[in-house]
Amino acid sequence: MLKGIPKIISPELLKVLSEMGHGDRLVIADGNFPARSVGKESIVVRCDGHTVPEILDAILKLFPLDNSTDKPVTLMEVPDGEDVKTPIWDIYKVIIGKHDERGDAVVNTIEKPAFIKMAKESYAIVATGEGALFANIMLQKGVV
């Protein structure tokens, strides 16, 4: 056991977060995201049974967002024609605001194909059991 580490952060996830460097990206994926196939070239950490907001809050206690870019947080846009609401994004913005003084100004959205491409190039993907649709979020690590 370590002091100050949220219990939801597994030893495997803590190792990944520690290994990441400035500018590396981490995806926290919902339960529908194809983490294993998209993450063939990166590390996939399973956090089944946990939600994205739980994991996001725990990670941001340890993980600085990149200050060298205006938008170190990226969300996957809902494709045109799909009638999906994303109230979970509002929860993310509250969590981000707790941990970064820039608040929700750091959040960007990109189209699904671009998000998938960036996810393939990410350092790691955290696969959660999140049931909300389009609940995927990507964080770019800053400097401690």
- Residues with a known catalytic role: 22
Q: Within 10 A of 71 (CB to CB), how many other CB atoms are there?
A: 15
Q: If you search the block for the tokens 């909300």, which residue do you land on?
A: 132
Instruction: Strand 137-140: give its sheet, edge to edge.
Output: 43-47, 124-128, 25-29, 137-140, 73-76, 107-110
Phi, psi values for residue 47, rounded to 5°: -135, 45
Q: What is the DSSP letter of 83?
A: -
Cα separation values, 66 from 57, 73, 107, 144, Å = 16, 9, 12, 10
The span from the CA of 23 to the CA of 86, in Å, is 27
